[in-house]
């Protein structure tokens, strides 16, 4: 079981990275390794089958001989008139059922071996330390139906077994404003998004929404008010229409068309063979990276009741013209929403109303982009480093 699991994982990993393996000239080496793993699995399987067939043969032999002995004894009893025919026939018919567990012993033994292998993998989960990243249970307060003020108040967060991701982090997301969150990789930007989505509670400190602790809000209602555009868009099996309707199942054709036009997805739909009904493969096969990003943005646009937008580099994989078009959509959305934009490319942050700079989980600078450029601090240093 464990060998088969490893072989399947290795095969799927190689299949998913096939283009990269070809580009690196490593496809042949990986294929040879898979062949070797497959041969090891074949040998192991044959060993197991050899034992299985041998044990089944032995158990079947003893069960058959035992039934034959019973039949002979019944025959002699009938011959000597020591047993009524009806009783003898009844016992003879029951004899195979009596030895059925013996015949099934071999099958059950190998099922037990598979179960033990699976249990060893599950035991790792039981032995793991409890995670501090359990989603918030939430309370009973309903979030407001207008663009809220969201305050990160002295928040600390530590991933299990790792260094602190956030340290005494404090800043505010103002309603009807675009706030850009910038910083080097590992500075805590993704952790903050998880906290705002309620996927994990702060280690200490609070996330306040219009002055109400996020932990006291009804999580289902809060997430219904939040539109999230991740950097890596997950595409589910189904058509383009199906993937968009996940965001708003009640959206009509006009709402879908409007979201596609505003996000720039309509250009991709025009070239797809079946338009809205084109099936999308695993990981969005059939759409480019930029088109996947537009689909994620269209999902956000469909959630008309979402008054908080959390965007993780929405202009990734887009050319300059498309990126500017997306920025215009975000700016228009901010007229009635609270927008947090995680910007890995600092050019995206230039159009924000306010920039928050993270370094090692701490807020080291915040303010309007022009003000931060004027003081020549951490934000200006990041811009200069990116330009170089």
Q: What is the pLDDT of residues 259-273, one digit of tens each?
A: 998 888 888 888 888
User: Are 331 and 338 within 8 A, CB to CB?
Assistant: no
Pairing of strands 338-342, 308-312: parallel
The H helix count followed by the E strand count for the chain is 15, 12
Best-predicted range by mean pLDDT (24-38, 43-57, 102-116, 294-308): 294-308
Q: What is the pLDDT of residues 78-107, one digit of tens each?
A: 888 888 888 888 888 888 888 788 777 767
pLDDT at residue 25 tops 80: no
Q: What is the pLDDT of residues 202-243, one digit of tens each?
A: 888 999 999 999 989 988 889 889 998 887 788 887 888 988
Share of the chain above pLDDT 70, in %: 91
Residues 6 or more apart whose Cβ sits within 8 Å of residue 110: 48, 52
In angstroms, the CA 341 to CA 358 distance is 13
Q: Which residue is it, tokens 């609270």? A: 338
pLDDT at residue 176 tops 90: yes
Q: Is 128 exposed, middle or buried (0-12, 13-18, 19+ CB in 10 A)?
A: exposed
| Mean pLDDT estimate for the chain | 83
Distances (CA, A) of 137 to 178, 202, 343, 364: 28, 13, 29, 31
Q: Which residue is it, tokens 């019944």? A: 74
Q: How is the chain split into domains, by residue range?
A: 2-127, 150-387
- What's the pLDDT at 340? 94
In angstroms, the CA 304 to CA 227 distance is 9
SS (H, E, C) 29-82: HHHHHHHHHHHHHHHHHHHHHHHHHHHHHHHHHHHHHHHHHHHHHHHHHHHCCC
Q: Which of 69-78, 156-165, 207-216, 351-360 bottoms out in mean pLDDT, i.e. has the lowest?
A: 156-165
Which residues share a beta bridge with 155?
A: 169
User: Are 352 and 369 within 8 A, CB to CB?
Assistant: yes
CATH topology of domain 150-387: Rossmann fold (3.40.50)
DSSP string, 306-365: --EEEEE-TTTT--HHHHHHHHHHHHHHTTSSEEEEE-SSHHHHTTSSEEEEEETTEEEE
- What's the pLDDT at 98? 82
Q: What is the pLDDT of residues 108-139, one digit of tens each?
A: 776 777 777 677 767 765 655 444 456 666 67
């Amino acid at each position: 079981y464990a060998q088969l699991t490893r072989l399947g994982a290795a095969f799927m990993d190689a299949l998913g990275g096939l283009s990269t393996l070809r580009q690196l000239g490593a496809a042949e080496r990986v294929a040879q390794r898979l062949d070797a793993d497959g041969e090891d699995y074949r040998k192991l399987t044959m060993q197991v089958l050899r034992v299985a067939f041998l044990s089944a043969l032995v158990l079947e032999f003893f069960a058959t001989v035992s039934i034959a002995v019973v039949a002979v004894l019944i025959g002699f009893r009938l011959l000597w008139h020591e047993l009524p025919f009806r009783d003898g026939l009844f016992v003879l018919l029951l004899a195979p059922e009596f030895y059925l567990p013996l015949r099934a012993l071999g099958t059950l033994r190998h099922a037990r071996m598979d179960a033990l292998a699976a249990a060893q993998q599950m035991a790792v989960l039981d032995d793991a330390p409890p995670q501090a990243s359990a989603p918030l249970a939430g309370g009973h307060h309903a979030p407001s139906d207008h663009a809220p003020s969201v305050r990160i108040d002295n928040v600390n967060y530590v991933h299990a077994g790792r260094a602190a991701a956030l340290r005494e982090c404090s800043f505010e997301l103002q309603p009807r404003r675009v706030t850009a969150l910038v910083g080097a990789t590992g500075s805590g930007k993704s952790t903050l998004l998880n906290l705002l989505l309620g996927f994990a509670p702060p280690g200490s400190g609070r996330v306040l929404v219009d002055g109400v602790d996020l932990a006291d809000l009804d999580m289902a209602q809060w997430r219904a008010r939040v539109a999230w555009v991740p950097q890596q868009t997950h595409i589910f099996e189904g058509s383009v229409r199906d993937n968009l309707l996940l965001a708003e199942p009640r959206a009509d054709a006009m709402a879908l068309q409007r979201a596609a036009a505003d996000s720039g997805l309509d250009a991709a739909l025009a070239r797809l063979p079946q338009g809205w009904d084109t099936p999308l493969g695993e990981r969005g096969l059939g759409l480019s990276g930029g088109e996947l990003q537009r689909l994620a943005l269209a999902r956000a646009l469909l959630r008309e009741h979402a008054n908080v937008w959390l965007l993780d580099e929405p202009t990734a994989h887009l050319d300059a013209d498309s990126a500017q078009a997306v920025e215009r959509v975000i700016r228009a959305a901010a007229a009635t929403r609270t927008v947090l934009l995680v910007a890995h490319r600092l050019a995206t942050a230039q159009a924000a109303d306010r920039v928050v700079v993270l370094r090692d989980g701490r807020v080291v600078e915040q303010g309007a982009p022009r003000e931060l450029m004027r003081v020549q601090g951490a934000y200006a240093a990041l811009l200069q480093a990116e330009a170089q």
